[in-house]
């Protein structure tokens, strides 16, 4: 495995899961934080993606569930801006 980069060793579904977790956090729960605190929050989100990925391996639909959550949060955000 010489010459193989570490990011090729992780399945692409993990990256999708981490991105959807970040989007869900940003759309629904994020507050204005300093840069270092934001980086820490997103790092913890990536760590939290590990057990969710394990659940996904055992057959739970984590990516579709998070995709639905992102869509619902986008609709809610759009409606809040439209009414304001």
Whether 7 maps to a domain, the answer reads no
Query: Does residue 23 sit within a domain?
Result: yes
Instruction: For 33-82, write each residue's pLDDT tens digit.
Output: 999 999 999 999 999 999 999 999 899 999 999 999 999 999 999 998 88
Does residue 2 lie within any of the structural domains?
no
State the pLDDT confidence band at 83, using cuts at 50, 70 and 90: confident
pLDDT attached to residue 82 = 87
What one-character-per-residue DSSP string does 36-73 give? HHHHHHHHHHHHHHHHHHHHHHTT--HHHHHHHHHHHH
Closest CA relative to residue 14, chosen from 40, 45, 49, 55: 49
Residue 66 placed within a domain: yes
Residue range of the domain that includes 38: 13-83
For the entire predicted model, the pTM comes to 0.83
Domain assignment present for residue 35? The answer is yes
- Judge whether 64 lies within some domain: yes
Q: What is the pLDDT of residue 79?
A: 92
Establish if 21 belongs to a structural domain: yes
Yes or no: say if 17 and 53 are a contact pair by the CB < 8 Å rule. yes
Provide the domain count of the chain: 1
Residue 3 lies in a domain: no
């Amino acid at each position: 495995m010489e010459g193989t980069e570490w990011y090729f060793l992780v399945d692409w579904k993990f990256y999708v899961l981490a991105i959807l977790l970040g989007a869900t956090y940003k759309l629904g729960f994020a507050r204005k934080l300093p840069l270092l605190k934001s980086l820490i929050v997103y790092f913890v989100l990536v760590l939290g993606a590990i057990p969710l990925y394990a659940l996904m391996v055992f057959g739970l639909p984590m990516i579709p569930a998070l995709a639905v959550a992102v869509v619902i949060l986008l609709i809610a955000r759009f409606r809040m801006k439209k009414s304001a």
